[in-house]
Structure 1
């Protein structure tokens, strides 16, 4: 998938496209979605930092428990 308004060719990977249907289905609030976006940034800003990755993984597991796919 190309990124809208990206000046690069669609054949050049240059961004991340994030959809929201799955988190909407789970019942995420706007604040939950912002928190998720921050976690994504934390991991991208700390690529290779296992401590950040593990801490983020635990946060994701917690929110998935709180907001399961089928409640």
Structure 2
């Protein structure tokens, strides 16, 4: 997940960089809060957690941030191209008027190409 991939959606990476397995993004400059973002991303089958950012002006159950973890993606075998695709999907989802069905289809294509348990595939 690259900092520049999500910047266009009004998202600022607060975790000091994108070279670690957890990314904290600040949504204070976005048109969406942490709860809305968490719910929307859940709708397209991307799991994140709303998370407070330093000096967060929003209440704890709403928040102005998101915590995005990458270990599950790495476990599935995602490489640079797939991480860039995930970042693009997240960035588009955070913009007003996101096409939920199209984004859900992109997520399905990724997860279909990298199944959790390939040995159980028929």
Which residues of 2 match residues 5-24 of structure 1 at below 5 A?
6-8=54-56, 11=60, 13-24=63-74
Structure 2 residue runs of 5 or longer lacking an equivalent are: 1-50
Structure having the larger proportion of residues in strand: 2
Structure having the larger proportion of residues in helix: 1
- TM-score (normalizing by structure 1): 0.76
Aligned residues: 66
- Runs of 4 or more off by more than 6 Å in structure 1? none
Structure 1 residue runs of 5 or longer lacking an equivalent are: none
Structural RMSD (CA): 2.0
- TM-score (normalizing by structure 2): 0.47
